[in-house]
């Protein structure tokens, strides 16, 4: 694999906050990034979810560079990013059903990805040989500016080594991919902190393949009975290890994992049992502010890392990958993390924690 001198360039966050895509497109560094993408190179950049590793989604050789840089399994498909609704016509085979139309009109641009039948403009390398393709329109103005400048749809998985916690800051990308890519655009911390929700919209009933930044409750409120629910035939991501050809990232492989062994504290009784058993070795407990306060007396001799309030899961989501990466700087024997309620974005948080956890 080619060795690069990886350049990391900071973007003025005030320009990002203004959200003026035309102004961002005038930045020389964005024009540099677009030129690299057109030449078949890789560029890492922020989205509202996590940092992405971008390549021209229509060029097989560019796509192969993503898999090599990340060490990503070849059967794990990529998400294609677009900047405007008009681009769907060149990518989607057939028509979107009414549920899909309602969902993208409500949640695009934003952290929602749809799986649709693809046209031949998207090569097999991008979709891991599938006849379907996953597409989203990101809300981050910097991402959309790059896509518009490049003039091509951009395939962009998370910009990390495969299996590691996803990057929510440019320094995470640099730590994982230094020397493997030419350019990282630093746009500050990702706002959502978790990847997009992926939904299959090829049938009348929509199926959630990966929970993410748009919650099940938000989707249900919009399309009601047209959403497959847990327990329905064909629904559920927890059996994803049984899937031979995943339709979406995050369905088959263990993801988001720190090197530190991580175990889940499922409920308060499990925490009390853990504290009573005695914690031997260099161990950390990752707890909500509520549990840390409630059990303060019992935790005086324990290393506690607070992950945020249970009642504000969006704050936990924004920091969870940073926290998982931080664990590996502490030289711990193992860590235990509190399970939070699986409602709203809590479902996506627990999906990531379960995939990051060690299996006994």
CATH number at 95 reads: 3.90.870.10
Residue 88 lies in a domain: yes
The answer to whether 276 and 287 are in contact (CB under 8 A) is: no
What per-residue confidence (pLDDT) applies to 358?
82
Q: How far apart are the first and last CA of the chain?
A: 36
Question: Is residue 252 included in any domain, yes or no?
Answer: no
In a domain? residue 257: no
> Using CA atoms, how far apart are residues 80 and 155, in angstroms rounded to an integer?
4
Quickly count: other Cβ atoms within 10 Å of residue 267's Cβ: 11
In a domain, 12, yes or no: yes
Question: Can you list the alpha helix ranges (DSSP code H) found in 71-111?
Answer: 98-107
Separation of alpha carbons 142 and 299, rounded Å: 43
Q: Which two tokens stand for residue 274?
A: 């853990």
Q: What is the pTM of this model?
A: 0.93
Q: Using an 8 Å Cβ cutoff, are 248 and 77 in contact?
A: yes
Domain of residue 345, residue span: 262-356
Same-domain check for residues 79 and 170: yes
Number of domains the chain is built from: 2
Does residue 303 lie within any of the structural domains? yes
CA nearest to 193, candidates 357, 9, 349, 353 = 349
Within this chain, do residues 153 and 83 fall inside the same structural domain, yes or no? Answer: yes
Say what the pLDDT of residue 75 is: 85
Q: Mean pLDDT by 10-residue block, N- to C-terminus, for the chain (360 residues)?
A: 95 94 97 98 98 98 98 93 97 97 98 98 97 98 98 98 96 98 98 97 96 98 95 54 59 74 97 91 97 95 95 97 96 97 97 86
Look-up: residue for tokens 């930045």? Answer: 27
My answer on whether 195 and 100 are in the same domain is: yes
302 within domain boundaries: yes
Output the pLDDT for position 359: 62
Q: Check whether residue 209 and residue 294 sit in a common domain.
A: no
Q: Classify the C-alpha dihedral 295-297-298-304 as positive or negative.
A: positive
- Could you tell me if residue 307 is inside a domain? yes
Q: Tell me, what's the pLDDT at 244?
A: 58
Residue 250: inside a domain, yes or no? no
Angle, vertex CA 172, rays to CA 171 and CA 173, nearest 5 = 90
Q: For position 232, what pLDDT does the model report?
A: 73
74 in the same domain as 189: yes
């Amino acid at each position: 694999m080619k060795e690069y001198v990886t350049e990391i360039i900071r973007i003025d966050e005030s320009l990002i906050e203004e959200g003026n895509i035309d102004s961002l497109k005038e930045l020389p560094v964005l024009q540099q990034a677009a030129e690299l993408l057109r030449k078949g190179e890789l560029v890492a950049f922020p989205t509202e979810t996590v940092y992405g590793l971008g390549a021209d989604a229509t060029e097989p050789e560019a796509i192969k560079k993503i898999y090599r840089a990340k060490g990503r399994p070849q059967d794990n498909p990529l998400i294609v990013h677009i900047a405007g609704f008009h681009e769907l016509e060149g990518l989607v085979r057939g028509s979107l059903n009414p549920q899909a139309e309602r969902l993208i009109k409500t949640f695009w641009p934003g952290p929602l990805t749809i799986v649709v039948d693809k046209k031949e403009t998207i090569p097999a390398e991008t979709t891991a040989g599938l006849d379907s393709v996953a597409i989203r329109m990101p809300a981050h103005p910097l991402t959309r500016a790059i896509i518009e400048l490049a003039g091509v749809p951009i395939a962009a998985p998370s910009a990390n080594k495969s299996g590691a916690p996803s990057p929510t800051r440019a320094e995470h990308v640099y730590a994982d991919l230094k020397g493997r890519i030419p350019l990282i655009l630093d746009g500050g911390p990702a706002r959502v902190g978790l990847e997009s929700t992926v939904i299959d919209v090829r049938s009348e009933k929509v199926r959630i393949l990966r929970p993410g930044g748009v919650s099940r409750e938000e989707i249900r409120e919009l399309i009601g009975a047209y959403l497959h629910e847990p327990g329905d035939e064909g629904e559920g991501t927890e059996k994803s290890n049984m899937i031979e050809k995943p339709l979406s990232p995050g369905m088959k492989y263990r993801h988001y994992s720190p090197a530190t062994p991580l175990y889940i504290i499922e409920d308060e009784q499990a925490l009390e049992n853990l504290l009573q058993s005695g914690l031997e070795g260099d161990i950390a407990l990752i707890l909500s502010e509520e549990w840390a306060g409630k059990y303060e007396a019992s935790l005086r001799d324990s290393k506690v890392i607070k992950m945020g309030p249970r009642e504000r899961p969006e704050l936990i989501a924004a920091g969870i990958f940073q926290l998982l990466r931080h664990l590996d700087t502490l030289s711990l024997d193992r860590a235990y993390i509190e399970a939070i309620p699986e409602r709203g974005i809590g479902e996506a948080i627990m999906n990531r924690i379960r995939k990051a956890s060690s299996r006994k």
